Structure 1
Amino acid sequence: MLQLDITIITTSMLIRMGIATNMSSASLSRLLQLASPMLPVGAYSYSQGLEWAIESGDVSNINTARQWIGDVLSTYFAHFELPILLRLYKAWQQMDGLQIQYWDEFYQAGRDSSEALAETRQMAYSLLRLQRDLATWPSQIVLLSGSLQQPAFPTVYSVSALCWEISDSDMLHTYAWSFLENQVSAVMKTVPLGQVVGQRILSELAMILPSLVEQALQLPDEDIHNFCPALSIAGCRHETQYSRLFRS
């Protein structure tokens, strides 16, 4: 089977998860800001197909919720989201507009439902607007980002991490953690599950994140794929779900 009450990440939690141990205080603060559920990108309004899995009965308790979310992380995230996020980060490092455009288009082509595509564009728009309001990006980054038409969320997320002096591995870990946290939040609201159960899922699945990050760091281009049929089906069926709380 394919299968957060939202939690503020603390410094000690990040250290236990194996990240943020060699960062400056400023970069650590930026990392926490990027990971925080207070980041105004609207991530809380999306379930990425999980709501349909709950409606269909595939996810109904702690075990099936943990299985679904864990499978999405290990099957989809480790082979698609995280490797592309890494390549976008490196392309921004080199200020390589062609590579940024290529991986942005590659990623968007892999968002295989209309809701999934709308989600990544909306979150990218919100984060891009936030960064322009904060005015923390160098002028050359602002200029290059202005040339992108409807970029994907990883495209804007990766350059945000770069400008805030967050390392590529810490960025990947934080991105995966944010997804995990939002998925647990969605399942707690919709099944519903209690707060302690939600924290148990978070604690258990957080332990696999370091290995997923390492896998993404080593994955060659030819092995990047979004093949995760149950997730694709859930996303497509959510588009016609009669009653729903989430936008995907």
Structure 2
Amino acid sequence: MSPALVRLLHLVSPTLPVGAYTYSQGLEWVVETGAVKNEATALAWIDDCLQSGIARFEAVYLAHMLSAWENGDMAGLAELDAEFVASRESAELRAETLQMGFSLARLLTDLASFSAPTKMGFGQPSFPLAWSCAAAAWAIPAHDAIGGYLWAWAENQVMAAVKAVPLGQTAGQRMLLALGQRIPALAEEAAASPIEDTHNYLPAFAIACSRHETQYTRLFRS
């Protein structure tokens, strides 16, 4: 096992203390409406968001951030980060990426063995920016880093569905098996995509995230 793989497992671990488990990205509201009510509908929702949203947009930004870290392009990183934060469709999504980015950047700064660039001058980095910083510093190959990022997102969404629907643990594992089959190809495509070709057109996702902000009872912060 390579050191880079060990570090990737570290970054995608649910124990990474960035608070990801407290967010559902609108899934909780969709469950509240009854549109997601079982394993099949939960998988369909998460799969649509994975293929048409995060893999086509967030993962592409992550790929370009990884490249910018490798090239020492701080101006490019600042531009990518600003564009990504501006793309967040709701106040909760914006707060989520900034909170998780801040938490990860602070964690990396506090780790004595992390010698590279979190002392980077970004006061409130987005989560992809802080995550890509760690992946680049630990020399994780871009394709593996992007695939790991997508896996961590999918796992968090499945666990949110297990709690909110609710679903059994075996159902959650079946969903992860199905989603995991898509990730290698999606990661490869994201790694090769020009930033100009990204798209983030998911109206139902945006509505769900916005409506969650006024949901009466909530387990999750988004």
**Structure 1 runs, 4 residues or longer, greater than 2 Å off:** 135-139
- Residue from 150, 155, 162 that aligns with 1:188: 162
Task: Give unpaired runs (5+ residues) of structure 1.
Answer: 1-22
**1:61 is matched with which residue?**
38
- Residue from 210, 219, 226 that aligns with 2:193: 219
**2:212 is matched with which residue?**
238
The residue type equivalent to 2:126 in the other structure is A
CA distance in structure 2 between the partners assigned to 1:142 and 1:68 by the alignment = 35
CA distance in structure 2 between the partners assigned to 1:39 and 1:215 by the alignment = 26
Indicate conservation of the 8 Å contact 1:62/1:197, yes or no: yes
Deviation string 1:97-152 (CA, Å, 9 cap, x unpaired) is 1100000001001111000000000001111111011133335x244x2x112110
Say whether residues 1:169 and 2:143 are aligned partners.
Answer: yes
Task: Give unpaired runs (5+ residues) of structure 2.
Answer: none
Deviation at 1:175, TM superposition (A): 0.5
Say whether residues 1:105 and 2:105 are aligned partners.
Answer: no
Deviation string 1:29-77 (CA, Å, 9 cap, x unpaired) is 1111111100000000000010011011111011100100000000001
The 5-angstrom pairing of residues 21-60 of structure 1 reads 24=2, 26-60=3-37
The residue type equivalent to 1:135 in the other structure is A
- Residue from 91, 103, 119 that aligns with 2:96: 119
Say whether residues 1:207 and 2:181 are aligned partners.
Answer: yes
Deviation at 1:231, TM superposition (A): 0.6
Deviation at 1:203, TM superposition (A): 0.7
Indicate conservation of the 8 Å contact 1:181/1:202, yes or no: yes
- Residue from 181, 186, 203 that aligns with 1:229: 203
Give the TM-score normalised by the residue count of structure 1: 0.87
Question: 3-state DSSP class of the match of 1:151?
Answer: coil
- Residue from 43, 51, 60 that aligns with 1:83: 60
Say whether residues 1:160 and 2:137 are aligned partners.
Answer: no
CA distance in structure 1 between the partners assigned to 2:172 and 2:10 by the alignment = 22
Give me the identity figure in percent. 48
